[in-house]
Amino acid sequence: MKQKFWQGALLSLLVVIPLSAEASRQITDQIGRQVTIPDDVNRVVVLQHQTLNLLVQMNASDKIVGILANWKQQLGEGYARLAPELNQKATLGDLTHVDAEKLVALHPQVVFVTNYAPQEMIDSISSLGIPVVAISLRHDPAGENAKMNPTLADEEQAYDQGLREGITLIGDIINKPKEAKALNDATFAGRKMVRDRLKDIPAENRIRAYMANPELTTYGSGKYTGLMMAHAGALNVAAATVKGFKTVSMEQVIAWNPQVIFVQDRYPSVVDEIKHSPQWQVIDALKNQRVYLMPDYAKAWGYPMPEAMGIGELWMAKKLYPAKFQDVDMQKVANDWYQRFYRTNYQGNN
């Protein structure tokens, strides 16, 4: 009885101020839900790592009161240096679940979730009187907006428009529209140089590339990673047969015989495994020593991120076609971005 009384007393203390007590407005999230939120949002919980990264780049860390527990795994251990204040934030869930008691205790005005968060998760948060905003960073056709691996008739438009809309929406919600516009402008400004310098390379002469993840997983079509490779002048060897994020066989990778292999910054051990594994040595990328660990600003998580589009595609294009980008100093390019949006110097690999 004492335990039940204590639990009841605790829950009675964890009361969220009703939204009706505040001036409010209505927004539409990226899966098409109408959500009523306060006019002035200063307390948010973020259960999606992409949105967390966008908030940091909009200089909005002070508005964050809770984050997903595995944020370091999702963003990489080095991310804590860019936003050390995140180490002091409450942790309370992940992409698909949340601790309701911890959530209520934080008194958030908005909770950001991923577009494929389970409906029961969204419903359980909403039932507490807390607005839930789903972010996809895609502009999807009807029926595809809540999927992890959507079917997209036009991937280019879906990701470009969706990222613009997502950044703008997040900026509007947290009352930082100018910061959102600056981030959007920088994101899309970096692509023109790459496009102009590679426009004369015919499709049949594009370099065959493969994105190597742990345990023979890779990205095919329907993911931003493939578009990133295409923008950088590469032919993603997995695009024709793989949809989304999947495991492939070693025999298939050998048959594809990529000329270049990229590995995401968060998986450095994969580079060592590939370089020292006998079965990989028959592949052209190994024969010509063209296996590259991507810098942390080229965050190819299957979703577009501002620095991946703004400067990561340029880094990739320079690795694929070094002669066309001899005048580009990626260290300076990266440092300029990090000083502007992370308020610190870039210290990673290039």
| Number of domains the chain contains | 2
The boundaries of the domain holding residue 323 are: 191-341
Domain boundary residue, one of 172, 189, 206: 189
Q: Does residue 136 sit in the same domain as residue 206?
A: no
Contact (Cβ atoms closer than 8 angstroms) between residue 166 and residue 183: no
Q: Widest CA span of the chain, in angstroms?
A: 77
Say whether 327 sits in a helix, a strand or coil.
coil
Q: Does residue 48 sit in the same domain as residue 172?
A: yes
pLDDT in tens, 76-90: 778 899 999 999 999
Q: Does residue 183 sit in the same domain as residue 267?
A: no
Q: Does residue 51 sit in the same domain as residue 196?
A: no
pLDDT at 15: 45
pLDDT in tens, 194-221: 999 999 999 999 999 999 999 999 988 8
Indicate if the pLDDT at residue 190 is higher than 90.
no
pLDDT at 153: 76
Say whether 256 sits in a helix, a strand or coil.
helix
Q: What is the DSSP letter of 339?
A: H
- Does 296 reside within a domain? yes
What's the CATH code of the domain at 60? 3.40.50.1980
> CA–CA distance from 11 to each of 3, 8, 40, 188, 299 (Å)?
12, 5, 26, 46, 40
Q: Does residue 84 sit in the same domain as residue 231?
A: no
What one-letter code names the amino acid at 284?
D
Indicate if the pLDDT at residue 175 is higher than 50.
yes
| Structural tokens at position 180 | 């959102």
Beta strand pairing call for 207-212 and 245-247: unpaired
Q: Does residue 307 sit in the same domain as residue 199?
A: yes
Q: Does residue 217 sit in the same domain as residue 202?
A: yes
**C-beta neighbour count of 246 within 10 angstroms:** 14
